[in-house]
Amino acid sequence: MKTGSSLEFSRNAARAQADADLQAALEKLQRDTRTSRPAVTGRLPEFEDLRDRAVAIKNHTLAHLDHYLEQFEANVIDAGGKVHWCSDADGARETILQICRDADARTVGKGKSMVSEEIHLNDHLIENGLDVVETDLGEYILQLREETPSHVVMPAIHLKKEQIADTFREHHTTLDPDRPLDESKHMTAEARTRLREKFLAADVGITGANMLIAETGSVVVVTNEGNGDLTQTLPRIHIVLATIEKAVPSIEDALSIVRILARSATGQEITCYTTFATGARRAGDLDGPEEFHVVLMDNGRTKLLESGFRDVLRCIRCGACQSACPVYGAVGGHAYGGVYGGPIGAVLTPALDGIDKAWTLPEASSFCGSCEAVCPMRIPLPDLMRRWREIAHREKLNKAATRRGLAIWAWAAKRPKLYRAGARFAVAALRLLGRRKGRFQSLPLAGGWTAMRDLPAPEGGTFVDRWHRERGA
């Protein structure tokens, strides 16, 4: 499904709502999440304490980020690796391309990385003649379909099994037409067969990082498929692409965060693989890459660190806010138009793309607070969305009609006597018009409301007037 930009959220949403397959997939996601997360967090009495601890770890790290990043770099170098500091997407893309060229690489295997989506890394490498293969099953399917992830941990959650089977039949031209592809295990087996060839052929493996451990220079990658391990151990070169806020001080800190990550992301206690990679292959090691590079990218993070949005840098990309969000559940991740959908996207996309290109996203929330309730890092997502709304309001980015309506209302609300007179009049008029049916199916200036629902008619009289009349006070 091709969707428009963040500014076209309404149109994207309408398209998503008309897509029956997508709606079925989203409903299943939300139904499953409702049971899986509480089940797994309920079994861990210290879950809430772990959240507090994780928040404290990240807050501390962010307050001393320069220190921990320098410590991380020193330890990567000690372990025989290299750190490349890149301020933006261009720098990171060029650095990675150059490492590939220096190694005479032809084939690149990729582990799942949202940061690589953020900088459109695949396109850049492919344009420059490299064969790039996503090795995470979901990402591989999306690569075949030329789509982007719609969820940070379940990138192909918007697809049904049948759509995936069709994709395999279309692209895997040597696939025996009689081979069954009805079940997930069949599709996984088919993908595994194809991907094995690529793992073995890859000259370079690129992964993201869930965390960067300062005290050891290790990179933590958390997966369920093991593709991340093959991507980082088999090729000659391992490149880690990570943004600076992934740093944590110690292994112990990393483990505290791992304990809340899978529970929040997929409702598992732990994922199948939690891999710590430290440096290149040492003399005597049985496997591992000859070269180990960490491309450490800022891409707007330092600016966020100094802004009122610092809390969002605690995000560990578990996707819990997406799975829990009823707006995401109604429209899916693509409707948001950016790399990240859902509540985290509504906060991050304006920072990455500019509020003028994404002011619609923080508006697209009922502020129900489900995201904040499940966020393991206790990021105050509704507050941060409201903060973006304040900036959009100040910069007059939102619709003029909305602003005008609000201004008139606020003008009256600041003049209680006038407001009360107006309220009395409006209630009387609506009461007169609506008393017979008790509701309106349409009403001038209330089209946004009556498009989807009737507007209940007022009972008659304002409460304040009636109270003072009845009580004589």
Partner 1 sequence: MTETPRVGLFATCLVDLYRPTVGFAAAHLLEKAGCRVDVPAAQVCCGQPAYNAGDRDNAAAIARQTIELFETFDYVVAPSGSCAGMLKLHYPDLLADDPAYAARARALAGRTWELIAFLTDILDWDGVDADWPGDVTYHDACSGLRELGVRDQPRRLLARVSGLKVNELGAPDVCCGFGGTFCIKYPEVSGAMVDRKTDDICDTGASTLLAGDLGCLMNIAGRLTRRGEKIEVRHVAEVLAGIADGPAIGQPDN
Residues that bind partner 1 (CB under 8 A): 9-10, 13-14, 17, 34, 326-327, 330-331, 363-370, 372-373, 386, 388-394, 398, 402, 406, 409-410, 413-414, 416-417, 419-420, 423, 426-427, 435-439, 441, 446, 448-449, 451-464, 466-468, 471, 473
Between 185 and 471, whose beta carbon lies closer to partner 1?
471
C-beta closer to partner 1: residue 286 or 401: 401
Q: Which of 88, 121, 126 is nearest to 105 (CA)?
A: 126
96, burial (CB in 10 Å: exposed 0-12, middle 13-18, buried 19+): buried
Closest contact distance (angstroms) between CB of 44 and partner 1 is 21
From the CB of 386, what's the least distance to partner 1, in Å?
A: 6
Find the shortest distance in angstroms from Cβ 17 to partner 1. 6
| Closest distance to partner 1 from the beta carbon of 302 (Å) | 25
Neighbouring-strand partners of residue 201 = none
Rounded CA separation 407/400 (Å): 10
Min. distance of Cβ 327 from partner 1 in angstroms? 6
CA atoms within 13 A on the CB side of 282: 7
Shortest Cβ distance from residue 5 to partner 1 (Å)? 16
CA distances, 259 to each of 68, 119, 191, 252, 267 (Å):
22, 29, 29, 11, 11
Is the CB of 226 or the CB of 405 nearer to partner 1? 405
Report the amino acid identity of residue 165. A
Tell the smallest beta-carbon distance from residue 59 to partner 1 (Å).
19
Give every CB contact of residue 341 below 8 A, 6+ residues apart in sequence.
150, 151, 322, 328, 332, 333, 334, 335
Residue 214 Cβ vs partner 1, minimum distance, rounded to whole Å: 34
Residue indicated by tokens 């939300």: 30
Specify whether the CB–CB gap between 268 and 40 falls below 8 A: yes
What is the enclosing helix (H) or strand (E) of 204? strand 204-207
Angle among Cα 130, 132, 133 to the nearest 5 degrees reads 160
Q: Where are the beta strands (DSSP E) in 171-255?
A: 204-207, 211-213, 218-223, 237-243, 247-248
- Give me the residue label for tokens 């069954």: 180
Q: How far is CA 415 from CA 103, 406, 473, in A?
A: 72, 14, 22
Strand, helix or coil at 29? helix
The amino acid that residue 473 corresponds to is: A
